[in-house]
Amino acid sequence: MTRSEIAPASLAGVVILALVTVAALAAPALAPYEAGTRFADHVHAPPTWPHVRHEGTFRAPFIYPWRLVDRLEQRYEQDRTRPVPLAWFDEGRLVRSADDSASPFLLLGADRDGRDVLGRLLRGARTSLALAFAATLGALLIGAFVGSVAGIAGRAVDDVLMRVAEFVIVLPTVYVVLVLRGALPLVLPPGVVFGLMAGIFSLAGWPFVARGVRGIISSEGAREYAVAARSLGAGRARLVLRHLLPACTGFLAVQATLLVPAFIVAEATLSYVGLGFSDPVASWGAMLREAADVTFADFPWTLAPAGAIFVVVLAFNLLVQAQPLAARGPAR
């Protein structure tokens, strides 16, 4: 495995993540409609693809509107006689339909409430990614703290902390998260749910970090520079913060690339089973749950969040595959 063989994959990962992050940040401008906008005549409407050719002549990109054929079966027919032009940079949105109320521009179709799936996907990216980043930060902080304490404190403290860490590592993360979430009230405002989930994920994720940090701290602590710092009168806190933790940054970075995708999947899992975000909030897990509530076999576009999760997790995996094995720690 040479460096040159890996660089393209890891570069692809970085590019994908950058694109997703920009899309999430720019969601209000990119999404054609508000997350809650409902088109009553477009429940489960299929995607409206942009066309450029109408009756043999080329023209600016436009869409063919959907005409409701059967409301009960939610069947639609394309109205090929009436092209609706796209409106660019209209009211602060990148692109939308020129006839918004009757024939909306639904690039990824509509969901069971007639809401634009693309718009919810972009806003869901904000929720899901922000949660994963917050939880990762929490797990890294707790892990670095516990790991440092275990690394410099005496044998007894070290033993206790590492036994606890190993105990949590052995348990399946899904169940740890489920039981912790199950111990809290079910119905809560979205902001509180966000905080709770970030906290719960951090509690499930810290042990991997702590074990690695402890190893680095205790081996680095025996090296000359650490001994020198101590003999010059550096206290334990200064020794760890100033001298030993910087040695862990590489390890922590790798752990972050492992934790973020794990937490994205964890959010999807919790929301899917109804213990995370729910309806008005757009998150990838909540969207998957809504999709699965009905027979999604007829409406594959409602599974778009599954595709989004796959792409983001893949991007992180491309990054991780480029890392040396030793820095990755145990498999999960």
Decide: is 329 part of the binding site for other proteins (CB under 8 A): no
Q: How long is the chain? A: 332
Q: Which is nearer to other proteins, 92 or 330 (CB)?
A: 330
Q: In what helix (H) or strand (E) does residue 97 lie, and over which residues does it extend?
A: strand 93-97
Per CB under 8 A, the segment of 125-133, 162-170, 193-201, 209-217 that binds other proteins is: 162-170
Can you tell me the distance from the alpha carbon of 171 to that of 35, in angstroms, rounded to the nearest whole number? Answer: 37
Cα 160 to the chain's mean position, in Å? 33
Q: How far is the CB of 32 from other proteins (least distance, A)?
A: 26
Q: How far is the CB of 293 from other proteins (least distance, A)?
A: 12
Structure tokens at 249: 């940054």
Contacts of 64 (CB under 8 A, 6+ apart): 48, 51, 78, 79, 80, 82, 83, 84
Q: Which residue has the tokens 């002549």?
A: 57
| Radius of gyration over every alpha carbon of the chain, rounded to an integer in angstroms | 25
Structure tokens at 47: 């995607």
The contact pattern for other proteins, residues 171-210, with x = CB under 8 A and - = no contact, is xxxxx--xxx-xxxx-------------------------
Q: Which is nearer to other proteins, 110 or 268 (CB)?
A: 268
Per CB under 8 A, the segment of 35-43, 128-136, 209-217, 298-306 that binds other proteins is: 298-306
For other proteins (CB under 8 A), the number of binding residues is: 42
| Strand-strand pairing, 84-90 and 75-78 | unpaired
Decide: is 254 part of the binding site for other proteins (CB under 8 A): no
Decide: is 286 part of the binding site for other proteins (CB under 8 A): no
Residue from 1, 40, 156, 232 in contact with other proteins (CB under 8 A): 1
Decide: is 326 part of the binding site for other proteins (CB under 8 A): no
If DSSP codes are grouped into helix, strand and coil, which group holds residue 328?
helix
Q: Which residue has the tokens 């809504």?
A: 290
Report the interface residues with other proteins, using CB under 8 A: 1, 9, 167, 169-175, 178-180, 182-185, 261, 265, 268-269, 272-273, 288, 292, 295-297, 300, 303, 306, 309-310, 313-314, 317-318, 321, 325, 330-332
